[in-house]
Structure 1
Amino acid sequence: MASSSLSDEELTLTVRWSGKEYTARVCGDDSVGELKRRICELTKVLPKRQKLLYPKVGPKLADDSVLLSELPLKSSVKMTMVGTVEDEIFVDQVDAPEIIDDFELGQEEVVDIKDNEVNKQKLRRRISQYKIELLNPCRKDKKLLVLDIDYTLFDHRSTAENPLELMRPYLHEFLSAVYAEYDIIIWSATSMKWVELKMGQLGVLNNPNYKITALLDHMAMITVKSDSHGVFDCKPLGLIWAQFPEFYNSKNTIMFDDLRRNFVMNPQNGLTIRPFRKAHSNRDSDQELVKLTQYLLAIAELSDLSILDHRNWESYTESTKRRRHS
């Protein structure tokens, strides 16, 4: 096993693929999954399509959660990658990995992860590596709403001839209403091709009643490690705040995701939305976006959203209703 001092060391690894060599720069505290993300940036082969081969490591390169500091790696190592670019057709959504084993970390563990200097370093590296491309300008004095896609806006596991059949009910009404008070960023744990494809199919990118500020994909995420659940990916809002500090910060940002683990670097800004599954059965009864519209508009007047406990958003909505009708 490699020395623990490797965790702070930057590694320059050479990856052979399709007759060419690519240089990936990572750190020992990165995971195998993080290395695959770097390779994806270079080759466009999605992490789930990559198989890394290096005789001295063996099967451990197949485990995305393993930290590179735990492997016998050093700079100048050359490994082989086997994988295929998905150029023309995006593999159907039912081929995407299913993540249903969400978990809730204890408060102390969340604080430890959020304040961990290694994770802060990862965030700083991601800020320097991942540049957000604006689709539309940030608007002054607007709050920020960050939205997941799969199971939040779209049932990505069911099948349908028309993707609109899998869209969460009231999506366009929701986005149109909250756009009055919030800039909107879509952040998915999938590739940018998937994000653009799905948002285009659902008519989100060209709707006349609202504009999407930016799209983020899995390359913007970082890996963190918890004592109770090992290594996992999350979505650090600090990436957005650092690139647009004059517009967005911890006080004016809220994020919806069906996986609470994605909030671990910014727990005070996350709202765990009920997942939208089995679209054909639930399409007529799902009211989540209607209720969340009321919540977002009710809290838009507040100067600091981070002081709210978003786990109790429904009771806040009901109490606001009662005050307005009393």
Structure 2
Amino acid sequence: MGEERASSLSSMAAMAMEEEITLTVKWSGKEYTVRVCGDDTVGELKRRICQATEVLPKRQKLLYPKIVGPKLSDDSTLLSLLPLKSSVKMTMIGTVEDDIIIDPVDSPEIVDDFELGQDEAIDIKDKEVNKQKLRRRIDQYKIEVLNPCRKGKKLLVLDIDYTLFDHRSPAENPLQLMRPYLHEFLSAAYAEYDIMIWSATSMKWVELKMGQLGVLNNPNYKITALLDHLAMITVQSESRGVFDCKPLGLIWAKFSEYYDSTNTIMFDDLRRNFVMNPQNGLIIRPFRKAHANRDSDTELVNLTQYLLSVAELDDLSALDHRRWESYIEDNSKRRRRV
């Protein structure tokens, strides 16, 4: 009987996690409807509110009857742990970015990047709750195609901040913060790869940054699509707690005719973003202090060589992208012997 009761309670808890709840959020004299599940976090709730109101998550303060203390300010709190009811309205205090004069940087500064142990990474990737979150994201998130996918091409997914652009250094012109050889890199990669940009910032700033850098209208290459923070999901690890990541399964589901795990590679300066697809991620050295380093940074030149070297392979996920520099050296030696 004890085991049956425990099993029953476990099943009820699982149902509570999966059950969708519709919340009404009051802001600036209007009411907005957002839908969340128990296995979502406060951070995910803020992303949904951002989608409805355009108030960035970091600018939101949430107020809810009977919830006191820091629970609604801790983005890692699971909603299943909070007494949320569809009949009770939530209040949000916040200001849209256009209404405040600030440096337009809306992504958090993450310096504590980490690499999970193999077993823990596999557990996160295969955990059913994370698969459910991915399925919901696939259903909810719409990707606008800027330029058609090309049959037979592989896919390159690129982060922006510290990957293509130093987003923290001051400059009179954004071009001063662009990573060296960016356009040459994208032009060369485009011969073999479709290109998508995926940033942990809002779509407004993705479009602004890429527009200012001349990426969206370059005659030598085309960008297939842009993705923002709303396409990310939240996962939890035992050692590192709750964090956001970029599941490539979203893209593979939306464009299954063109891309899958065998022909996709993602560049990002944060390895945590690869946790749902570790075999497809390559850690790029972050581009910081642009004024001091732009004359010596050749990361994109070297990565161009790597991308073109592996483009002929049938399965990119079979490579160990951590050894990309050794692959270039080994490939050069093989060519010299021939």
TM-score, normalized by the shorter chain, greater than 0.5: yes
Cα displacement string for residues 111-167 of structure 1 (whole angstroms, at most 9, x for unaligned residues): 111111110010000001001000000000000000000000000010100111100
Aligned to 1:237: 248
Work out the CA distance in 2 between the residues paired with 1:131 and 1:55: 33
Cα displacement string for residues 234-279 of structure 1 (whole angstroms, at most 9, x for unaligned residues): 0000100001100000000000000000000000100011100011
Asked whether 1:125 is paired with 2:110, we answer: no
Aligned to 1:257: 268
Q: Secondary structure at the match of 1:203?
A: coil
C-alpha spacing 1:169/1:105, structure 2 compared with 1 (3 Å): same
Asked whether 1:246 is paired with 2:247, we answer: no
Asked whether 1:200 is paired with 2:211, we answer: yes
Aligned to 1:50: 60
Cα displacement string for residues 89-124 of structure 1 (whole angstroms, at most 9, x for unaligned residues): 784245642111101111011111111111001000
Work out the CA distance in 2 between the residues paired with 1:96 and 1:218: 9
Aligned to 1:268: 279
Could you say which structure has the larger radius of gyration? 2
Asked whether 1:9 is paired with 2:5, we answer: no
Whether the 8 Å CA contact 1:4–1:69 is kept in 2: the answer is no
User: TM-score, normalised on structure 1?
Assistant: 0.97
Partner letter of residue 141 of structure 1? G
Q: In the TM superposition, what is the alpha-carbon distance from 1:290 to its structure 2 partner? A: 0.5
Aligned to 2:34: 24
Aligned to 1:160: 171
Q: In the TM superposition, what is the alpha-carbon distance from 1:325 to its structure 2 partner? A: 2.3
Aligned to 1:190: 201
Aligned to 2:221: 210
Whether the 8 Å CA contact 2:107–2:200 is kept in 1: the answer is no
Asked whether 1:291 is paired with 2:305, we answer: no
Aligned to 1:316: 327
Q: Secondary structure at the match of 1:87?
A: helix
Q: Secondary structure at the match of 2:308?
A: helix
Q: In the TM superposition, what is the alpha-carbon distance from 1:7 to its structure 2 partner? A: 1.3
Whether the 8 Å CA contact 2:154–2:259 is kept in 1: the answer is yes
Work out the CA distance in 2 between the residues paired with 1:132 and 1:3: 33
Please identify runs of 4+ aligned residues in structure 1 that moved more than 6 A.
none
Partner letter of residue 53 of structure 1? L
Whether the 8 Å CA contact 2:236–2:242 is kept in 1: the answer is yes
Asked whether 1:38 is paired with 2:48, we answer: yes
Cα displacement string for residues 69-102 of structure 1 (whole angstroms, at most 9, x for unaligned residues): 1112233231100011123778424564211110
C-alpha spacing 1:90/1:144, structure 2 compared with 1 (3 Å): farther
C-alpha spacing 1:88/1:319, structure 2 compared with 1 (3 Å): farther
Q: Which range moves more in the overlay, 182-191 or 69-78?
A: 69-78
Partner letter of residue 38 of structure 2? G
C-alpha spacing 1:77/1:89, structure 2 compared with 1 (3 Å): closer
Write out aligned runs for 1:52-71 (5 A): 52-58=62-68, 59-71=70-82
Aligned to 2:6: none
Asked whether 1:281 is paired with 2:280, we answer: no
Q: Secondary structure at the match of 2:142?
A: coil
Cα displacement string for residues 183-202 of structure 1 (whole angstroms, at most 9, x for unaligned residues): 00000000001100000010
Structure 1 runs not aligned, ≥5 long: none
Whether the 8 Å CA contact 1:94–1:159 is kept in 2: the answer is no
Whether the 8 Å CA contact 1:195–1:217 is kept in 2: the answer is yes
Partner letter of residue 58 of structure 2? K
Whether the 8 Å CA contact 2:56–2:106 is kept in 1: the answer is no
Q: Give me the CA root mean square deviation.
A: 1.5
Whether the 8 Å CA contact 1:147–1:184 is kept in 2: the answer is yes
User: TM-score, normalised on structure 2?
Assistant: 0.93
Work out the CA distance in 1 between the residues paired with 2:64 and 2:298: 50
Identity rate of aligned residues, in percent? 81
C-alpha spacing 1:42/1:94, structure 2 compared with 1 (3 Å): closer
Work out the CA distance in 2 between the residues paired with 1:322 and 1:207: 35
Work out the CA distance in 1 between the residues paired with 2:202 and 2:80: 26
Whether the 8 Å CA contact 1:224–1:231 is kept in 2: the answer is yes
Q: In the TM superposition, what is the alpha-carbon distance from 1:321 to its structure 2 partner? A: 1.3
Work out the CA distance in 2 between the residues paired with 1:293 and 1:103: 26
Cα displacement string for residues 27-63 of structure 1 (whole angstroms, at most 9, x for unaligned residues): 0000000000111111111111111001312221001
C-alpha spacing 1:90/1:270, structure 2 compared with 1 (3 Å): farther
